[in-house]
A and B are shown apart, each in its own frame.
Chain A
């Protein structure tokens, strides 16, 4: 059965190549572009979704806006790129859907559905988020406390994922969405790593059934999900430079833990406070915030915060005017912070003492 399916697929491929060559001779560039675009569109026939528009294109898949005709709501469909007959990518997309389905949190985009389209491409449907990416939204955030509050909400979502045994591994401004009502969502869990392998064996076996493309084209053998997991991880560098921890950049996958995401969060915090790329930031940050960023982004993972909650607590301490754990203040800095925190009260006491001096001077003369 499998070999027949592949023979048919190969035949179709040859046919399309031949047809394309003929078409290229007689059609204009514009017509060819339109034709190419329409062939890249996913075949949603037989599903409850109606395609509306392409929203974004990533390394693994294309995100489309679609209408769920049964529930009459807009959803976002993440569909594997064309040509999508790669078992590794298909399994990763399905794995991403499963990881997301396990993470029910207001800061993580919920998954509604997953499956395979008529054209063989794997997809999953998720909430349609109306808003802006953080790197676009940041311009509208004028004050540092506003940005820190956004950062804290990102931390909440990441801490939740860590508590469920999931590492994001690709935290960066482009993967954070800020909704039109201020909701903050951590997106693109395609590189997520499960710290605890809770996906059961039967689920992994289901991968082979759901993901037809995981069948090796030549031998017809099913690639086990555990092997796919290894190839997406060990020795391969996945992530975004500038936001990747040194151990992640070095491909040391077995060393990755929550502290790797904490590195990315530190880089994200620095970006939020400098508005520039982490490597090129030059704006002088407040020393406490700089110390928080430096601790989170320490090259040695032992020197970083051990949990996202610790990082969150330090940022909260800063926001509330307390000393942060990452920075040892001088006496002058302590006094300055006390004054900033209790400015009105300090001024009142000063006014009282001044009044007292004036009363003494007036009464003596």
Chain B
């Protein structure tokens, strides 16, 4: 599996899990579907970005920092739009970015020309 596809899949899965935890907050339970879709897209974007970065830069620490930064920025944007739940959105979103950043550096196959 190539690094971009890996980032895409992992970001989408972790994003969906991230969004699914909204079920534990009764006040937003009515918007569950929207939250899960939005969170999945957020994770997906972070995963693809981390995958592209991993193709260009071969460094696990830099990959982690990049993933963390992308996850943070995306989660911050979502939280900023809602003007609420900053901690509940930014912390998990940043960690999803960190995880896909690490995974795309450590796993996945580089294209033959990039090796």
1/0 per position for B85-115, CB-CB distance to A under 8 A?
A: 0011001100110110011001100000000
The answer to whether A345 touches B95, judged by C-beta atoms less than 8 angstroms apart, is no
Task: Give the complex CA separation of A359 and B24 in angstroms.
Answer: 11
A71 CB-CB contact with B under 8 Å: no
The answer to whether B92 touches A356, judged by C-beta atoms less than 8 angstroms apart, is yes
1/0 per position for B5-28, CB-CB distance to A under 8 A?
A: 000000000100110010011000
Task: Give the complex CA separation of A41 and B79 in angstroms.
Answer: 90
The answer to whether B87 touches A363, judged by C-beta atoms less than 8 angstroms apart, is yes
Contacts of B21 in A (CB 8 A): 356, 359-360
1/0 per position for A333-345, CB-CB distance to B under 8 A?
A: 0000000001011
The answer to whether B95 touches A363, judged by C-beta atoms less than 8 angstroms apart, is no
Closest chain A CB from B51 CB (angstroms): 15
The answer to whether A359 touches B91, judged by C-beta atoms less than 8 angstroms apart, is yes
A27 CB-CB contact with B under 8 Å: no
Q: Classify the interface of chain A: helix, strand, loop or mixed.
A: helix
The answer to whether B99 touches A356, judged by C-beta atoms less than 8 angstroms apart, is no
Which residues of chain A from 311 to 363 have a CB within 8 Å of any chain B CB? 342, 344-345, 348-349, 352-353, 355-356, 359-360, 363
A364 CB-CB contact with B under 8 Å: yes
Contacts of B98 in A (CB 8 A): 348
CB < 8 Å: which of A345, A349, A352, A364 contacts B107? A345
Closest 7 pairs between A and B when the two form their complex, measured CB to CB: A360-B24, A352-B95, A363-B88, A356-B21, A348-B99, A356-B92, A359-B88
Residues of A within 8 A of B (CB): 342, 344-345, 348-349, 352-353, 355-356, 359-360, 363-364
6 A-B contact pairs sorted by A residue (CB < 8 Å): A349-B99, A352-B96, A355-B91, A360-B25, A363-B88, A364-B25
